[in-house]
Structure 1
């Protein structure tokens, strides 16, 4: 079972594309909106060193931005 977490903001078009892509692939995911959750936002930056979204954690590996190929390479 894949553990997929997508970090998003409310206004990010690439976040919507990413969520739609995961849904189309039948990949379940948890969404964390860092715009609404400042603690999660700080933790994300501390972990990855990046402010931008989307960022996706897949089984402990990180994908920055909307990168379907990288995502599919990490999904088991």
Structure 2
């Protein structure tokens, strides 16, 4: 199944690293958008999710906030 996974992060976020490590360990490819480098993406992210926190992971249009391994795997398997 072809998954579109995007992880919105910041450089110093330890939870962002946890999400990326989890995806890597499970051989799930993803695109990373660092909000420090792409501030316009931050504005769009807040308008879509209503949240000011990272990480935010989008899997085929489903948003997962923070580090939620069960939620990430469920969204991938759908």
Number of residue pairs matched by the alignment: 76
1:33 shift after superposition: 0.4
TM-score (normalizing by structure 2): 0.95
Paired residues for 1:25-40 under 5 Å: 25-40=26-41
Is 1:69–2:43 an aligned residue pair?
Answer: no
TM-score (normalizing by structure 1): 0.97
Matches of 1:23 and 1:46, distance apart in 2: 28
Is 1:21–2:5 an aligned residue pair?
Answer: no
Matches of 1:35 and 1:68, distance apart in 2: 25
1:35 shift after superposition: 1.4
Where in structure 1 do 4 or more consecutive aligned residues deviate above 4 Å?
A: none
